[in-house]
Amino acid sequence: MNGAHDLGGKQGFGAINPEPELEEPLFHADWERRVFAMTLATGMLGQWNIDESRHARERQHPVDYLRHSYYENWLQGVETLLQEKGLLDIDEAGLQRLTVPNASGAEKNLFSGGPTLMPDVKAPLFGPGDSVRVTRRREPGHTRMPAYVQGAVGRIEAHYGSHVFPDANARGERRGEHLYSVSFSGEQLWGPGAEVARVLVDLWEPYLEVPG
C-alpha cells in the first residue's frame, strides 16, 4: 500500500531543522525509551516479523501516521500487533508455549541479528546492466516498492541474491525473491534539471519487468 509512510518525493513538508549532532539525545522522553525497548522485547517472542511490524505502523489512517511522532507510531504498531495476535488475553497455557527472553537471551539476539539472505530457488531474471521497468501496482498489503519509482525505467547495478520478500513476509509467508540494486536517473524520476544524478533503490524481482 502507498500510505502516508511512502514519502519519497512528496512536497510541502518544509525544512528539516536537524538538531546539532552532539546535542541530540538518543531519546527525547522516557516513554520513547520504554516504547523502543518494549517493541524489541515483544518482537523477540517470535509472534510477528519485521515486515508485519512495519505494516502495523503503516496501515494507520494516513492523517494519524503523519501527525504522530516516530515513537508514537511504534507504540501504535506494537499495540496493534499485541491485540491482533491475542497476546494481551494470553492465559497460562499460552504463555507456556512462548519463550520469553531473559536479559542475556535478548543481548544475544541483538548482537546476532536476523539475516534475510535465502537460498536461491530459481535463477535470477536480471543481471547488472539490464534495463528494467518498475511495475505499477495497487495492492492493499505491505510492500517495499516506493510509489515514486513505479513505472520508471532503471538499470540493475547489483544482484544481492535471494532475500526474504517483504510483501509475502508481512502475511507470514517467509520466502526468498531475487533482490537488486536498481539505479534511476534524476531526470527519469523528477524531470529535466533534477537536483539528483542517480537514485538507487533496492527492489525485488516481482516488482520489476522488462521495459516494453
Per CB under 8 A, the list member of 16, 99, 123, 192 interacting with another protein is: 16
The residue among 36 and 212 lying less far from another protein, judged by its C-beta, is 36
The residue among 157 and 209 lying less far from another protein, judged by its C-beta, is 157
Query: Torsion angle, CA of 169/173/179/184, rounded to 10 degrees?
Result: -50
The residue among 127 and 187 lying less far from another protein, judged by its C-beta, is 187
- Binding characters for another protein, 50-89, by CB under 8 A (x = yes): x---x--xx------xxxxxx-xx-x--xx--x----xx-
Q: State yes or no: residue 7 binds another protein (CB under 8 A).
A: yes
Q: State yes or no: residue 187 binds another protein (CB under 8 A).
A: no
Taking the C-alpha atoms of residue 116 and residue 93, their distance in angstroms, rounded to an integer, is 32
Give least dist CB 139 to another protein, A.
Answer: 15
Give least dist CB 13 to another protein, A.
Answer: 4
Q: State yes or no: residue 99 binds another protein (CB under 8 A).
A: no
Q: State yes or no: residue 9 binds another protein (CB under 8 A).
A: yes
CA 187 to chain centre: 26
Residues touching another protein, count (CB under 8 A): 95
Cell numbers representing residue 211 in the block: 521495459
Q: State yes or no: residue 164 binds another protein (CB under 8 A).
A: yes
Give least dist CB 162 to another protein, A.
Answer: 12
Cell numbers representing residue 63 in the block: 492523517
The residue among 104 and 212 lying less far from another protein, judged by its C-beta, is 104
CA 162 to chain centre: 17
Q: State yes or no: residue 152 binds another protein (CB under 8 A).
A: no
Give least dist CB 143 to another protein, A.
Answer: 9
Per CB under 8 A, the list member of 46, 61, 84, 98 interacting with another protein is: 98
